[in-house]
Structure 1
């Protein structure tokens, strides 16, 4: 009984080795296997890249800076 278990584990390890080495084909995480992506793009020439102006930059959060203080007024409780 133990011999069959060891043989089964050995075969499972061989199958895992073959899969990791890529002998069964590329893994799904390999990426770069979508050759039709460029042909499926709709109007890629319409995309325009422009620099961010100072007015647009005011809306953007500054990463790493402290959060701005909210304009809240407080009064003493009575």
Structure 2
């Protein structure tokens, strides 16, 4: 009863192993994903990395901090 599903799984595993070895061509991650973007950069050496100042970081969310409270007023409903 389980003979055919096991045989199919073995064949699929062998095909996956052969595919990883490169029998069907190179894998999609064998090279850069978008190498044309690197060639189209105009002045990559002009890029400057600077730390974020306190004024710029004021509106950033704090990861792991409490969620902000919404300014909603509540009142009891009349019965």
* Alignment TM-score, normalising by the size of structure 1: 0.56
Deviation per CA, 1:9-36: give whole Å up to 9, x if none.
x987765443221133321134436544
What is the root-mean-square deviation in Å for CA atoms of aligned residues? 3.2
What TM-score, normalized by structure 2, do the two folds share?
0.55
| Structure 1 gaps, min length 5 | 1-9
| Equivalent residue runs for 1:26-41 within 5 Å | 26-32=26-32, 34-41=34-41
Q: Does the C-alpha gap of structure 1 residues 65 and 13 become closer, same or farther in structure 2, counting only changes over 3 Å?
A: closer
Gaps (5+ residues) in structure 2?
Answer: 1-9
